[in-house]
């Protein structure tokens, strides 16, 4: 979440997200704030999906799996 917040161009919105991730209930508050801006929510989902894919690719590579070119 912190990495995503660093990419937010609107300083006020980024500040609200920073406040949302302080203390308990972080994920819920973060998503509630994001829900107010559909464009940023969509961007966060894409950001999170790419990070998940990156971790999966790193795990696969670390365990000896390599991509195969399709004919």
Helices (H) and strands (E) in the chain, counts: 4, 0
Tens-binned pLDDT, residue by residue, of the chain (71 aa): 999 999 999 999 999 999 999 999 999 999 999 999 999 999 999 999 999 999 999 999 999 999 888 88
Neighbours of 33 (CB within 10 A): 18
- Residue 13 contacts by C-beta under 8 Å, 6 or more apart in sequence? 33, 37, 40
Tell me if 34 sits within 8 A of 54, measured CB to CB. Answer: no
21: Cα separation from own chain's centroid: 13
* Rounded Cα gap, residues 70 and 61, in angstroms: 18
């Amino acid at each position: 979440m912190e990495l995503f917040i660093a990419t937010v161009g609107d300083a006020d919105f980024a500040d609200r997200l920073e406040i949302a991730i302080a203390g308990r209930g972080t994920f819920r508050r973060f998503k509630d704030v994001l829900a107010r801006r559909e464009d940023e929510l969509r961007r966060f989902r894409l950001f999170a999906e790419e990070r998940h894919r990156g971790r999966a690719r790193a795990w696969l590579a670390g365990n000896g799996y390599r991509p195969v070119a399709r004919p």
